[in-house]
């Protein structure tokens, strides 16, 4: 059957609108009464943080395209203005739902569990006194109230910071009439203040927003003037970093300059409390050079994501997900060294259900082993107190050859990565920065060990970052191997990253921006040819994003040929499934639950000789053509069977899965009369059964 001739807007779902849809799925977790209440609050905060980043990066880019008259940015051919208008419409509804959920559901539910967020009208006399002292002793010393006049223009407002615009009346100490002032809340101040137990009833937690405390006492900052109003606001700024790869000669210096500038990039959104009068709203909007469509009036604190500190306090574990202890494969529980284990057995870890400790221990063992000659590793995100970095530093100081490829352009982790690069260099490690224009997104570690007269390589390849913190909440696969051929491939890739020469004749690993895209297309087309020949054909992929139009087109062609295609796409998806004559053999679902689904797994039936790959790469333009990525095969039969069962479990999920329709909307699946199946809960249950 010939494919229907569809205009681009009908053939592809817009990536920005798809990303907003993902935030709705996250917010739905905050609605779910089956989720513990503090976790529901956390999901609300995550949806707000996601929306912040959406405006900082995606909306900021669209506004720049609009300013310079650039053409439509994606294959859907929506113009920047059309897209900004639609984003505004959808984001207003999303923000309204966030605050409605907070005020009408989450806060009352928390109150029923004796966790209260007190309004000023509810403060007792004792609480008022304590908060007045807190304001005088903790807040006032770090505040700098600024009245506005020609010699004191509007201050620089830090990206996403809490601020107040104040309306004043009267004359100052110099006899001049004052009308407006700005009060900036430093980021050193906690946004949520927990009151001492002595000020609350037994068993009750009382919290107060910093904004309420400042609001209650702001008139103390302007003695002699009459306060007529105080209103909180927050500006979101363009946080994109721009480094010209044709001009830059020192990436670190260029990036440090961009980081400082990005805190005060062009404003793209203004959030302001709904009580703020129109004239003050217009004053702020004019200052930030924003349109009315860029203003969001909110019914509560302008920085909801700061409520996450309450979730992290640890005072009410009964209102959080039950804890669990990640498992460790039996092969790694013996007295054998990890290197002797990998001589005979490859190991596949599934985080967070299986511990990340073996990865950390792998680097630690290499650092301490006198027979280890060298360690090579890529680092994209690691965290501020990374034990892996500690082990690499120790190994370098012990005289081992340590090479670390650090991606400085890892979004929002740039400053941390510059710091750890300096630390490693000071210890004597060879530090190589990711190539400008091609982020190093691959997750690889290699240990070179002398064993008798031979030099052997042991590798770890992963779908996620070397970050011990995120491995507790992100699902990823990590693969250990002592395979000679795999070790040679990883060695060649590291040589390419350091010398920038070609990595030729790779035996196992597919890489971007070189072989991965072409080999992926070849395998999809092979399934298509098999289907056309009357053979069974099947593709399953679990990825985070799918937007690359050429990949989408070959998947459409495969569907038309009769290939059964099941895609598990957590976030952005531009492919329209279920369209007659185009994609009726494609099914797409998103799984959103306790853990962030982050693993990438590709499966091809291949006439029964099934192929499985794990990868660091999503199916996006940037991953195929502008990043260094790795895609590695899982070839051992027990591991292949395990991966297949994992994929089938995600496809059977009817509790935390959402089905994508051809119109771009998602519907949450429910068990109905069927047996409830939750992939994440099943993995946790399996872990509990083994413990």
Active site residue 441: yes
CATH number of 330-507: 3.30.870.10
Between 151 and 337, the more confident residue is 337
Average pLDDT (366-395) is 92
**For the chain, what are the domain ranges?**
8-319, 330-507, 512-690
Evaluate whether 42 touches 106 at the Cβ level (below 8 Å): no
Between 466 and 2, the more confident residue is 466
> Confidence class of residue 1 from pLDDT cuts 50, 70 and 90?
very low
Average pLDDT (504-528) is 97
Instruction: Tell me the C-alpha distance between 123 and 120, whole Å.
Output: 5
- Number of H helices and E strands in the chain, helices first, is 21, 27
Handedness of CA 154, 155, 159, 163 (dihedral sign): negative
Residue 8 has pLDDT above 70, yes or no: no
φ/ψ (deg, to 5) at 128: -60, -45
Evaluate whether 332 touches 356 at the Cβ level (below 8 Å): no
Residue 28 has pLDDT above 60, yes or no: yes
Condensed to tens digits (0 to 9), the pLDDT of residues 581-601 reads 999 999 999 999 999 999 999
- 477, two tokens: 């696969």
Q: What is the pLDDT at residue 242?
A: 54
Evaluate whether 356 touches 471 at the Cβ level (below 8 Å): yes
Cα angle: 205, vertex 206, 209; to 5 degrees: 135
- 546, two tokens: 């799918």
Instruction: Quote the crossing angle between the two packed helices 251-262 and 414-427, to the nearest 10°.
Output: 150
Q: What is the pLDDT at residue 152?
A: 76
Which of the following CATH numbers is that of domain 512-690: 2.60.40.1180, 3.40.640.10, 3.90.105.20, 3.30.870.10? 3.30.870.10
Q: What is the pLDDT at residue 240?
A: 78
- 519, two tokens: 């080999």
Task: List, as one string, the DSSP characters of 78-130.
Answer: --HHHHHHHHHHHHHHHHHHHHHHIIIIIHHHHHHTTEEE--GGG--HHHHHH
Diameter of the chain measured on Cα atoms: 91
Burial class (CB in 10 A: 0-12, 13-18, 19+), 376: buried
Condensed to tens digits (0 to 9), the pLDDT of residues 601-620 reads 999 999 999 999 999 999 99
Instruction: Quote the crossing angle between the two packed helices 387-397 and 414-427, to the nearest 10°.
Output: 20
- 322, two tokens: 């039950």
Residue 4 has pLDDT above 70, yes or no: no
Residue 415 has pLDDT above 60, yes or no: yes
Measuring CA to CA, which residue among 183, 152, 181 is closest to residue 168?
Answer: 181
Residue 58 has pLDDT above 90, yes or no: yes
Residue 7 has pLDDT above 90, yes or no: no
Which of the following CATH numbers is that of domain 8-319: 2.60.40.730, 3.40.50.300, 3.40.50.720, 3.30.1840.10? 3.30.1840.10
Condensed to tens digits (0 to 9), the pLDDT of residues 278-295 reads 999 999 999 999 999 999
Query: What is the residue whose two structure tokens read 């002292």?
Result: 133
Instruction: Tell me the C-alpha distance between 303 and 100, whole Å.
Output: 15
Non-local (6+) Cβ contacts of 650 within 8 A are 542, 568, 589, 591, 657, 679
Residue 5 has pLDDT above 70, yes or no: no
Half-sphere exposure of 90 (CA within 13 A, CB side): 20
Pairing assessment for the beta strands 601-604 and 611-615 based on DSSP bridges: antiparallel
Q: What is the pLDDT at residue 76?
A: 84
Non-local (6+) Cβ contacts of 363 within 8 A are 375, 377, 388, 391, 392, 395, 445, 447
Measuring CA to CA, which residue among 269, 277, 271 is closest to residue 166?
Answer: 277
Q: What is the pLDDT at residue 691?
A: 57
Burial class (CB in 10 A: 0-12, 13-18, 19+), 1: exposed
Least confident of 18-22, 46-50, 79-83: 79-83
Please list the residues that pair with 115 across neighbouring strands. Answer: 205
Q: What is the pLDDT at residue 411?
A: 61
Cα angle: 386, vertex 392, 396; to 5 degrees: 145
Long-range contacts of 132-135 (CB under 8 A, 24+ apart): 132/217, 134/193, 134/213, 135/213, 135/214, 135/216, 135/217, 135/220
Say yes or no: do domains 330-507 and 512-690 share a fold: yes
Residue 280, helix vs strand vs coil: helix
Q: What is the pLDDT at residue 248?
A: 42
Pairing assessment for the beta strands 180-184 and 538-543 based on DSSP bridges: unpaired
Between 300 and 261, the more confident residue is 300
Say if pTM beats, i.e. exceeds, 0.75.
Answer: yes
Condensed to tens digits (0 to 9), the pLDDT of residues 650-670 reads 999 999 999 999 999 999 999
Between 203 and 132, the more confident residue is 132
> Confidence class of residue 65 from pLDDT cuts 50, 70 and 90?
confident
Residue 249 has pLDDT above 50, yes or no: no
Count of Cβ atoms closer than 10 Å to residue 180 Cβ? 16
Q: What is the pLDDT at residue 254?
A: 46
Handedness of CA 40, 45, 50, 51 (dihedral sign): positive
User: Residues 391, 441, 460, 598: which is the catalytic one?
Assistant: 441
Condensed to tens digits (0 to 9), the pLDDT of residues 173-226 reads 777 777 899 999 988 899 999 999 999 988 899 999 999 999 999 999 999 899
Average pLDDT, the chain: 91
Average pLDDT (399-415) is 79
Count of Cβ atoms closer than 10 Å to residue 34 Cβ? 7
Task: List, as one string, the DSSP characters of 220-240.
Answer: GGSTTSEEEEEEEEEEEE---
Instruction: Tell me the C-alpha distance between 161 and 185, whole Å.
Output: 7
Least confident of 24-28, 465-469, 680-684: 465-469
Instruction: Tell me the C-alpha distance between 47 and 43, whole Å.
Output: 6
Residue 255 has pLDDT above 70, yes or no: no
């Amino acid at each position: 059957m010939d494919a229907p001739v569809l205009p681009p807007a009908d053939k592809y779902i817009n990536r920005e609108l798809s990303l907003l849809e993902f935030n709705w799925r996250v917010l739905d977790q905050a609605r779910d009464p089956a989720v513990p209440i503090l976790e529901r609050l956390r999901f609300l905060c995550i949806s707000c943080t996601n929306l912040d980043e959406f405006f900082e990066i995606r909306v900021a880019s669209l506004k720049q395209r609009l300013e310079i008259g650039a053409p439509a940015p994606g294959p859907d051919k929506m113009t920047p203005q059309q897209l900004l208008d639609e984003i505004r419409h959808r984001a207003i509804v999303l923000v309204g739902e966030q605050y409605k959920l907070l005020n009408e559901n989450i806060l009352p539910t928390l109150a029923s569990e004796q966790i209260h967020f007190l309004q000023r009208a509810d403060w007792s006399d004792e609480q008022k006194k304590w908060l007045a002292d807190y304001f005088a002793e903790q807040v006032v010393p770090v505040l700098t109230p600024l009245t506005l006049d020609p010699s004191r223009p509007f201050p620089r407002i830090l990206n996403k910071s809490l601020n107040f615009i104040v309306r004043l009346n009267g004359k100052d100490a110099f006899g001049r009439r004052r009308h407006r002032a700005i009060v900036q809340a430093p980021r050193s101040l906690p946004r949520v203040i927990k009151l001492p137990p002595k000020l609350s009833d037994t068993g009750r937690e009382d919290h107060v927003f910093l904004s309420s405390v400042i609001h209650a006492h702001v008139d103390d900052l302007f003695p002699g003037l009459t306060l007529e109003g105080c209103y909180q606001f927050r500006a979101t700024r363009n946080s994109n970093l721009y480094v010209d790869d044709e001009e830059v000669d020192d990436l670190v210096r260029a990036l440090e300059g961009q980081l400082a500038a990005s805190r005060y990039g062009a404003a793209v959104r203004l959030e302001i409390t709904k009580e703020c009068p129109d004239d003050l709203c217009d004053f702020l909007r004019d200052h930030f050079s924003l349109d009315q469509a860029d203003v969001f009036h909110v019914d509560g604190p302008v920085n909801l994501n700061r409520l996450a500190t309450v979730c992290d306090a640890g005072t009410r574990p009964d209102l959080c997900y039950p804890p669990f202890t990640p498992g460790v494969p039996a092969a790694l529980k013996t007295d054998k060294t990890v290197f002797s284990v990998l001589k005979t057995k490859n190991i596949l870890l599934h985080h967070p259900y299986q511990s990340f400790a073996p990865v950390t221990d792998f680097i630690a063992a290499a650092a301490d082993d006198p027979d280890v000659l060298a360690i090579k590793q890529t680092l994209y995100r690691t965290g501020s107190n990374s034990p892996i970095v500690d082990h690499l530093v120790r190994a370098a100081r012990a005289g081992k050859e340590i090479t670390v490829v650090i991606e400085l352009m890892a979004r929002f982790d740039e400053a941390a990565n510059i710091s750890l690069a300096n630390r490693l260099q000071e210890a004597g490690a060879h530090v190589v920065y990711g190539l400008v224009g091609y982020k190093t997104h691959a997750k690889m570690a290699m240990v070179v060990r002398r064993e008798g007269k031979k030099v052997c390589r042991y590798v770890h390849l992963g779908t996620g970052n070397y970050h011990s913190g995120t491995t507790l909440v992100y699902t990823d696969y990590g693969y250990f191997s002592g395979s000679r051929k795999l070790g040679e491939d990883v060695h060649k890739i590291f040589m390419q990253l350091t010398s920038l020469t070609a990595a030729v004749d790779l035996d196992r690993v597919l890489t971007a921006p070189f072989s991965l895209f072409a080999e992926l297309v070849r395998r999809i087309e092979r399934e298509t040819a098999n289907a056309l020949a009357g053979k069974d054909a099947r593709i399953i992929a679990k990825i985070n994003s799918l937007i690359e139009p050429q990949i989408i087109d070959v998947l459409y062609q495969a569907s038309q040929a009769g290939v059964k295609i099941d895609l598990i796409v957590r976030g952005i998806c531009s492919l329209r499934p279920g369209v007659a004559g185009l994609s009726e053999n494609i099914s797409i679902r998103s799984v959103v639950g306790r853990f962030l689904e982050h693993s990438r797994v590709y499966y091809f039936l291949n006439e029964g000789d099934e192929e499985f790959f794990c990868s660091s790469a999503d199916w996006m333009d940037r991953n195929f053509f502008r990043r260094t990525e790795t895609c590695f095969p899982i070839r051992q039969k027990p591991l292949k069977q395990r991966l297949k069962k994992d994929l089938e479990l995600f496809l059977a999920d009817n509790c935390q899965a959402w089905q994508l329709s051809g119109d771009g909307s998602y519907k949450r699946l429910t068990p109905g009369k069927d047996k409830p199946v939750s992939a994440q809960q099943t993995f946790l249950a399996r872990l509990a059964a083994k413990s």
